[in-house]
Amino acid sequence: MSLLVSVTGRDHPGVTAGLFDVLTAHEEDVSDVEQVVVNGRLLLGFVVPGDRPALRRALQDAAGTLGVEVEFTPLDRTEPVPAAVRHHVTVLGLPLPASALAAVARRLAECGANIERIHRLGDNPAVSYELLVAGGETARLQTELAAEAVAQQVDIAVERASLYRRARRLVVMDVDSTLVQGEVIEMLAAEAGCEQEVARVTSAAMAGELDFEESLRARVALLEGLPVDAVDRVRKAVVLTPGARTLVRTLKRLGYAVAIVSGGFTAVTDDLVAELGLDHALANVLEIQDGRLTGRVVGDVVDRAAKASALRRFAAQECLTLAQTVAIGDGANDLDMLAAAGLGIAFNAKPVVRDAADTALSVPFLDAVLFLLGITREEVEAADAQE
């Protein structure tokens, strides 16, 4: 017979120490312990192998002195609880009502998953909670919770718990409409006076309706004759997605490798690499002769296969496994990369990409990705304050 000791009350320094001093005096071991503080209220539980009246009285007396309440629950189980598969379930919303959390909890129960812990990640740039759940099958959890995310109009991510969540990782991002706002080729087309025609082709390509390489070459051909100073104007006009700097800065502080792979152009990505301190990059090269674009791309086009290949190559260069990689993108050109990564994230993506990715984010802030990695807003702000 073992004993579960549950402690509640106003949190203050010395509570845990005082109670564990009692265990030490009675030569009792602790076989399990969990502690959390919610808005200044302590919730502490621990299990001791024996259930002796003298120990109960001593703990009760110590609790009274410390200003907390203690409750005792005898446990009949003597055998260890079998280990269960665990998942991290991250829920984000703007807002995130209690009804959404209730719906998520209900779905988890229907999938045979039990919530062991709920941890608040932050309320900026979105309200987010991480649930550690035991039991359930990964594919079913992803399918069921994806449906609930649509019903509740929130974002829900499911990732199997593993050492890789706390390990160094490689994060590879698409550029246009992911790391930066808008599509660079459409900005170039506006300078060339063919914006509408290029935008139609871009939309069809990103939705997976056209072969990307063929569509890119066709769009670039429309830019023939555009002067280099127009390209420079576009480069200077590119705007980072909200939260992009925070995301990259935080990942670099954690020792992560950060890369970009783009169906766009080095005329823009080279500046992003220098500005953000990125580790790797791949993008298309626009051919220039006599100070003007020729309407051609130099070398092979960076298509969906090339993006996935780059992710694998960057991971090998960083001595990381694919399980330690994260890919973020929004268009059909990113599908192979998202599938190859250990965690594929669709960011404000087209429907075909949302359906294929491991998880999807619909909030317009790129640093919300940090929540999916288990990084709290408090940790981000504390690191910023130390700079």
Q: Which residues are catalytic?
A: 174, 176
Strands of 359-361's sheet in order across: 292-298, 280-289, 257-265, 170-173, 325-329, 343-347, 359-361
Residues 6 or more apart in contact with residue 138 via CB below 8 angstroms: 85, 87, 158, 160
Query: DSSP of 302-319, one letter per residue?
Result: --HHHHHHHHHHHHHHTT
Q: Please, is 352 exposed, middle or buried when counting C-beta atoms within 10 Å of its C-beta (0-12, 13-18, 19+)?
A: middle
The encoded tokens of residue 50 equal 């024996």
Distance CA 370, CA 190 (A): 34
User: Where do the H-state alpha helices sit in 172-227?
Assistant: 184-192, 195-206, 212-221
Query: DSSP of 261-287, one letter per residue?
Result: EEEEEHHHHHHHHHHHT-SEEEEEEEE
Sign of CA dihedral 24, 27, 28, 30: positive
Distance CA 326, CA 358 (A): 10
Distance CA 189, CA 344 (A): 30
